[in-house]
A and B are shown apart, each in its own frame.
Chain A
Amino acid sequence: MIARKWLWNKRRNKIAAWSSLASMPDSPIERYVTKGETSRRISPHDPWQWHALEAYLTHRLRVGGTQVEQERVCHLAEELFGSIYRNRLSNRKLEVRLRTLAHIGLFRMKGLGEEVSAILKDKRIDSEELLATLRVLAAFQDKKLLNLLLGVYRPLPPLSDHRYRQLLMALETGLLEELIDRFDMGNDLLQRNLLDVLRTRNIRTERYLALIERLMGSPSDELRIRALKAAAGFGYMSQEAENAHLARYTNWRQYPWEERLMAARLMGEVRNADYQKLLEQMIGDDRYAVRIEAAHSISRYSNGHAHLTRIASLHGDRYARETAEEMLERRSYERNVE
């Protein structure tokens, strides 16, 4: 064990020294990445150098740089590691294959596309490996992924929300728009997570807006709630949708509390004089989270402070008065008042 530790430290120190030299602006690697100057000195000789180079290129790609620099890093990785990764994809150890797939995706090695797709043909594929393969397809912006997600070829095994998001977050807007068009073909999980990803990615297209406005009237509670949240993130609705929202939430008490909360949030983002009256009622909701969200939305209107002050003094509901007071207090100590 001690010998192993000693050797390990020796190797680690060599890698650290190599990496610090490689990160110098005039090192062969850096000159290639920044100026495109090729050099034989980049090619590693010893096993530890291969490891160091892989780690360095991974790091170089993750710290950013220009588009051209990133392409050069990927090109270099494919040139040097392509055949190694090809062999590793058939390694009997799952961990090695998973690691390899992660790097293939990271370096966008499209030259290995066929080998990666071949993995999907195996009917006994491990779920971790399936996900890692799908992630590579997402990194390649491969349209096959959309059909896989929609279960065109065969049903996809259950994936967690987080897994769906990992895949969807990596897709470019064009592919996401294609998924918007085929939205109704997807399962519940895909639909929910697609909405979340579109919101997080701050996509602002007409197709997306049309989708969320349509889903705000969906029979599914979950989709309605997420659509409301997405609409609040979008910060805009067509006049028709605004009117429909007002009509629907006139009877706000009949909806689940999460939906009431999101409806209140949306009324703070898309400000409309008629919404203020509704928010004044919702500040007396029996759920604290909804009350405070309604108060927060009221505070976002131009006359919000005065409106909250009036509610704190005159509202018939004690909870509403206390919530308004709490919001006024919060606003007084928040440093960055909106």
Chain B
Amino acid sequence: MNATWSEWITVASTIGSVVIVVYIFMTMLFYLVLFFVAIRTIRKKAESVSFQNEEMMHSSFSPPLSILVPAYNEELNIVDSVRSLLGINYGTYEIIVVNDGSKDATKQNMIDEFDMFEVQHQVRWSGLNKETKLVRGIYQSRIHPNLRLADKENGGKADALNAGINLAHYPYVVSLDGDTVLDPDAFLKIMKPIVEAKPGEEIIACGGSVGIANGSVVDRGYLGEDVRLPRNSIVIMQVIEYFRGFLMGRIGLSKMNMLLIVSGAFGVFRKDWLMEAGGYETGTIGEDMELIVRLHRLIRQKKSKAHIAYIPDPVCWTEAPEQLKYLKRQRIRWHRGLFESLWRHRGMMLNPRYGRIGLVSMPYFLFVELLGPVVELVGYVILAVHGLIGDVNIVFSALLLIAMILYGSFLSMGAVLLEEWGMGRYNRVADVSRLFWWALSESFWYRPLQTVWRCRGLVQAILGKRQEWGDMVRKGISVGQGGSGK
């Protein structure tokens, strides 16, 4: 290598190092703001009394809900999920399970378990003005009059949700994953911001925290009192990741009405707004995020003061992948979904017409969430290049290392602290201590893995790979399924 090339590489990598360090510290600053906003909110919530929740249960006072459960190959979990839904504390609601052309026994399990029969007369009407794949039949439970099953041809999760919206009777629609385990008070909690909105305030969607059920005992669709941390280190890291995403990120963003994601695992929406927005977009991966961005767009177009709310309470639990290969698939899909949503609505990016969403929220998701892994990867490459050309800049390398550790591990430790101060869901000292130490280790193994996968997701998204239901081999998390419950 001649001297000129070497100098060029040195200059380029030095500039790169500076950019990366500045980038990471700016991001840290942003997260720090979110962290303090979250602390205030969580502390406030911890002081509140819970015994005033049940007034909402008066059936005539709680807005009726249509709960949509799209299911694809969910034979292991679907019955338990529906059972947990049938036992929730809420006034009036209906459950619509949409079987999206499952290849397993999802439909048959539902029919057998809940004594279902096919309804002959059912008005098929699409308020969404959007075609869905053929609905082959609608079934009604003889045991539970508020439980229906729509059996349709496979069209993806968004299509299944759209079919469910067309069948929904009630003004609020809840989207739910087939493997979601709900807190018994989930609906009371999630409807609280909606019913308590002042006159003139309009809450058109609301989401809540999602927890990871692996490791805890799930019996007949309910999570026991004792939330436990699994032994599997991959799941532990996801638990920490969820803390960070839900407790830190979303609380802060929702405070400023800048939330762009209501988790597909559990969210509630005003049906009229869903209809006006055109329902879920088929052919995308991140349909949950895409819908929220579209709702924000609609809010701005209508010059409405409507708000998308978020509650820090854990409202539901889901099974996380326990093997790297499934986690990899999930993360690649998520990142592709993020890219698609941002790309589809790129007109909002840095556009003052969309207020804080266009000027703060969208750029945050672009530069921090979407491109963050790319910046990190470049950082690793620069370190390697410096090492290869034998020109290790000690100051920059140290700064970079500190920045990486702060960015990954310390943020995660902060999230664990937040969880412990505000929620305290994990009762065992050993669990809390393991969470803390694993959080510290994040930058050294888990984060680099995520970086590589997310970069792959970005590449795949740019190359436009076809989307489909995410497949994850479920072992089942309920003791009733022959699973250990762990």
Contact = CB atoms under 8 A, between A and B. Distances in A.
B117 A333 contact: yes
A160 B197 contact: yes
B142 A335 contact: yes
Nearest to B143: A335
Contacts of B123: 288, 322, 326
- Most B-side CB within 10 Å, residue of A5, A95, A326: A5
Given A2-B432, A166-B55, A95 B48 contact: yes
A102 B420 CA distance: 25
Main secondary structure of the interface of B (DSSP, over half): loop
A9 interface: yes
Contacts of B49: 98-99, 102-103
A6 B429 contact: yes
B402 interface: no
Contacts of B424: 5, 8
Interface in A193-224: 196, 199-200
Given A95-B47, A288-B123, A169 B55 contact: yes
A322 B121 contact: yes
Interface stretch (B56-64, B178-186, B311-319, B361-369): B56-64
Contact of A200 (B60, B197, B198): B60
A160 B194 CA distance: 10
A96 interface: yes
A247 interface: no
B109 to A, nearest CB: 21
Nearest to A329: B121
A1 B429 CA distance: 9
B436 A163 contact: no
Nearest to A6: B429
B48 A189 contact: no
B417 A1 contact: yes
B390 interface: no
A62 interface: yes
A102 B436 CA distance: 36
B120 A329 contact: yes
B6 interface: no
Contact of B432 (A5, A200, A326): A5
A331 to B, nearest CB: 12
Interface of A: 1-2, 4-6, 8-9, 12, 58, 62, 93, 95-96, 98-99, 102-103, 106, 127, 158-163, 165-166, 169, 189, 196, 199-200, 288, 322, 325-326, 329, 333-335
13 contacts: A1-B416, A62-B51, A127-B198, A159-B199, A160-B197, A165-B61, A169-B55, A199-B60, A288-B125, A325-B121, A329-B119, A333-B117, A334-B145
